Chains A and B, each alone.
Chain A
């Protein structure tokens, strides 16, 4: 552990202590606040609904490639309090640039700049990364919405091993040759900063090797003092400095221009990405939902109609990047690398577990019960300005085909255990 890390830990530690102290003042709950949990539940449940997130591989060498991928559904029930996703950017939430981003594709289209997203649309993103800074990093996909801020997706741990000194990030230039983004233009930039800085300090030094203030002020106060302070040698130096400055500017400009004959301005266009839509043979309507505060459970009564040809079983409810599964979900959609801290493999209970048959309409009582509701701070729903919840319901047929429905509805809190049933 070197001095830099110790210093960083000290600063982070003291910030953490300050945060903890402040939190204890307002709440008795321990402050395990990591960015994503501090966002309000209604915002996390009803904006971007994240699913199929993958951090691959979980261990990367410096310079090796890794992938962050997954899908988002833009909730139909986008809250009124949040600016609509007219200009969005799929970002990576990481502690500084621990990876560099090599490419980012959304529904197959490169998303290098920001663009609009459609409410109710579905987007699959694939972000190619390159390991840069060794360490154990918590990485989130993020949907940044202009005017609303970043909406963090689920976070997973990714390790980068090796040595930062070996890191390079070469890019092919259109006119031929490659350039490393880590060092491109660094020499020229430092050179000109040193040149101009030196000239600037020389100019100041020229006047500071002589009496600077008190004496000159006294002379200036006298008759003829102004003329006396107008030293001819300073005028010569000023003319010289003007000449040197203009000459250097011209040399720098024309030399650079000849070095890079083909240049383009910054590109500020926007990608127009076509959305896809969720496919499901089920129609799901939220009849009622309540929220058992002490029991840490969300209970929903859904009216589910199967208009397909196969019997379907509900296996997963996912919201705010947190997954609640039952046996069906585990059998069909269990990714062993998914962070266990944001997944409850026995967190979904259905009163009648038999599959919903083709043509059948059934009232389904769904209960997603787990301490994750509290750990992930989704309990705070009751303090939100908008008492609605949302999420994705996933169901599977015998062959393992998935059917996804985005749901949203009103939610009523239940405060005491006595009324919980």
Chain B
């Protein structure tokens, strides 16, 4: 399998068909990034489409300073932020709407971790809860959190994607994690902290 850089190179040399490989490689990542940021499948689809379209036409001028993936995430990230700015205070996220149609989808993503919510119902509830709580974070905190915990980027990659300093990444991530932790505790959901329940340490739940 060719590396991203090799594919980009081929693309630049005129073999534009290789774009499909890049697309297949990153489609899910970009879609998930957009979904976690926007909490809405319709928008996630639109943003993914626009991101790859932009990437296709801008690729000839991609300089390779950062990895292709970072560059692509930057495009997607900015599109998400633009959209969030546009809808500003409009709350588009609805608890039931995005999940009603995707039960089949969720079944396919049961976590492998044994400590996780055990049943499909629990898993679905858990997914909704997390997404709902993530959505209450300020956009820039959510972004860092999504890039780190869902996209599993390194601090370095996040700072390149967001074009900000490592220090900013650290502090935003710190704030996002601890805010989310508090929200999880405050939610009082039984599966919010399964460890605590099992070990009987749920005493400090609000």
Bound pair (A, B): no
Q: B-side interface residues toward A, CB under 8 Å?
A: none
Q: A-side interface residues toward B, CB under 8 Å?
A: none
